[in-house]
C-alpha cells in the first residue's frame, strides 16, 4: 500500500485486521501515558519484597511506569496476545501423576515467535502510515504488559493477577508495540471474577495472599524458574510435582473451562517433553537437556536449576506414593 493512511479510524482497522492475518488472536490499543494508578501499588509491592530475588523488578522504575521513557514521543501502546491453549494436553496433564511443566512452556519459546510477528506488524504499520518511531517488546524491557493489556480492553486482571479474556481465558501470552502515532483507543472491560475465590483457595503456597495480590516470592513459578539458590525446605512439599512453572491457579479458573483452543503450531506441545516419567527426568544429563530444550523457555533455570526442581518433585511424588500405598493397606485391612 503506497498511500499513507492518515485517517486514525481507518489506520486502526487496518492494523487490527493485519494483526489477525499475521496470527495474533487479539489486539488492543491504549493511549501512552504514565501509569499513575500502578505506581503506588508497584512501589509497595517492591518495598514488601514480594519480588524476592527478581532484582530486575527494582530497576528502571520510571521506564516501567511510563512508556514514553522507553520511546520518546510515544502516543500509543498496542497490545497483542496469542493463545497456547490445547484442551487435549490440558486434560491429559490434569490426569497425570508425572512431573509437570507449565503449559505455556511445552512448545517453542514464545519470545522468538512474538518478536517475528510484532516486527511484521510494525513493518505493516509503517507501510500504511509512513515512517514510525517505536519499538516492539516481548519481556525484553521494563513494560507492564498486563496493565497495558487491561488498558487496551484485552481483558481484566483476575484475583490471581493473571489477565483474563472472555474468549481466550488466561491461556495466552502477551507482547507490545510502543509507537509515536495515534489510534482509536479501546476501553477497559469490566471485572467478571465476581465472588469466586477458587484460584486463592487452590494455591498451595498461599502466594495469592488476598484477592488481586500475589507474593511473587512464594509462587511455584518463582521457585522453579527465577530462584537461583536452593528452594526453602519449608516450601518444597507445597511445590508438588511441578518442575517448571505452575498452572494451578489457571487450571481451577472457571473462565478457562470452555475457551477456544490456540491455533499457533509453534506453541503446540512438544511430544518428547510432555508427560514423561519421573525416571526419565531423573536420568536427564546435560547434553540431553540442551537438546530437548533448544529454543524452549524451559532452558531459563539452566540445567542445575531444572534438576534441583526434579529432585524436589521426586521426593514429593514418592512421598505421595507412600501415602497412597498406606491408605490402600488400611482399606484392605479394614
The C-alpha cell of 17 is what?
A: 485486521
Is pLDDT at 59 greater than 90 in this prediction? no
Segment 226-254 mean pLDDT:
96
Average of pLDDT values for 12-30? Answer: 98
Q: Which three cell numbers stand for residue 260?
A: 477456544
Give the angle 100-105-107 at the CA atoms, nearest 5°: 115
The answer to whether 139 is a known catalytic residue is yes
Average pLDDT estimate for 306-332: 76
d(CA 83, CA 85): 6
Confidence at 320, pLDDT banded by 50, 70, 90: confident
pLDDT digits (tens, 9 = 90+) for 171-204: 999 999 999 999 999 999 999 999 999 999 999 9
* Integer Rg of the chain from CA: 21
* Of 108, 116, 139, 275, catalytic: 139
Amino acid at each position: 500500500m503506497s498511500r499513507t493512511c492518515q485517517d486514525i479510524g481507518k489506520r486502526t482497522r487496518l492494523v487490527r485486521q493485519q494483526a489477525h492475518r499475521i496470527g495474533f488472536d487479539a489486539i488492543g490499543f491504549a493511549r501512552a501515558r504514565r501509569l499513575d494508578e500502578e505506581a503506588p501499588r508497584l512501589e509497595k509491592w517492591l518495598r514488601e519484597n514480594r519480588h524476592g530475588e527478581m532484582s530486575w523488578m527494582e530497576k528502571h522504575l520510571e521506564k516501567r511506569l511510563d512508556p514514553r521513557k522507553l520511546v520518546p514521543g510515544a502516543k500509543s501502546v498496542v497490545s497483542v496476545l496469542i493463545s497456547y491453549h490445547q484442551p487435549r494436553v490440558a486434560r491429559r496433564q490434569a490426569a497425570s501423576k508425572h512431573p509437570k511443566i507449565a503449559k505455556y512452556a511445552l512448545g517453542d519459546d514464545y519470545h522468538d515467535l512474538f518478536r517475528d510477528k510484532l516486527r511484521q506488524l510494525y513493518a505493516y504499520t509503517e507501510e500504511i502510515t509512513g515512517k514510525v518511531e517505536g519499538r516492539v517488546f516481548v519481556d525484553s524491557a521494563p513494560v507492564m504488559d498486563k496493565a497495558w493489556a487491561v488498558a487496551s480492553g484485552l481483558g481484566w486482571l483476575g484475583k490471581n493477577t493473571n489477565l483474563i479474556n472472555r474468549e481466550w481465558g488466561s491461556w495466552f501470552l502477551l507482547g507490545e508495540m510502543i509507537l509515536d502515532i495515534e489510534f482509536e483507543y479501546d476501553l477497559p472491560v469490566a471485572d467478571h471474577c465476581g465472588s469466586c475465590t477458587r484460584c486463592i483457595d487452590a494455591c498451595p503456597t498461599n502466594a495469592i495472599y488476598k484477592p488481586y495480590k500475589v507474593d511473587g516470592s512464594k509462587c511455584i513459578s518463582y521457585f522453579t524458574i527465577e530462584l537461583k539458590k536452593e528452594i526453602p525446605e519449608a516450601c518444597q512439599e507445597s511445590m508438588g510435582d511441578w518442575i517448571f512453572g505452575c498452572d494451578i491457579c489457571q487450571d481451577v479458573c472457571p473462565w478457562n473451562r470452555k475457551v477456544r483452543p490456540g491455533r499457533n503450531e509453534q506453541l503446540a506441545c512438544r511430544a518428547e517433553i510432555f508427560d514423561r516419567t519421573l525416571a526419565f527426568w531423573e536420568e536427564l544429563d546435560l547434553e540431553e537437556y540442551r537438546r530437548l530444550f533448544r529454543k524452549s523457555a524451559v532452558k531459563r533455570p539452566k540445567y542445575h536449576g531444572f534438576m534441583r526442581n526434579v529432585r524436589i518433585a521426586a521426593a514429593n511424588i514418592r512421598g505421595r506414593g507412600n501415602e497412597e500405598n498406606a491408605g490402600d493397606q488400611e482399606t484392605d485391612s479394614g
